[in-house]
Amino acid sequence: MKHKIKHIINRYRYFFILFIAGLALLVYDFELGANSFRLTGLNMLDMISILPPTFILLGLLDVWVDKALMIKLTGEGSGLKGAVIAFLLGSLAAGPLYAAFPIAAVMLKKQSKFSNVIIFIGAWSTTKVPMLMFETASMGVKFTLLRFFLNLPVIILIAVITEKMLSKREKTEIYGKAEKL
């Protein structure tokens, strides 16, 4: 029992540290501390409204998309086609960035090429269609297109460099962790 409590405290240590810091802020400046807890609650409600549908879609993706198909489309031998599919999956997605990581884990579990998973995350974070539409309305077409076309090579460069920097052992470890999810 003692080991289990220690494990829980260790696993959620950052939560406990931030909670204690929030309590200290509440004592120091009640209005600021109360506002901090209110915003934290609103963020948690936002996450609760997004994560269940994300996990349902993940379950469907895991069951409906065959591993062999995922390897063919985005796996090691997929080449440019795999990168384009990963980019489109990320760009056509909806939702906050934290929803991309469980999907990336399923892609790893289904043996997508590591650089394609990074491209997917990069596209999700910088080139989502809803974000581009908002940006066009706010900043103009010229700015949006310039930023979009500057991001493309950077996303690819980050993916290639990240994959090359990781050793075979490190990649095997990452794929192994995804397999356990």
Tokens of 66: 């065959």
Distance CA 20, CA 27 (A): 11
CB atoms within 10 A of CB 111: 17
pTM over 0.85: no
List the pLDDT tens digit at each of the 181 positions of the chain.
777 888 888 888 998 998 999 999 999 999 999 999 999 999 888 888 887 887 887 788 778 888 888 889 999 999 999 999 999 999 998 788 888 998 999 999 999 999 999 999 999 999 998 889 999 999 999 999 999 999 999 999 999 999 999 999 999 999 999 888 7
Tokens of 14: 């950052």
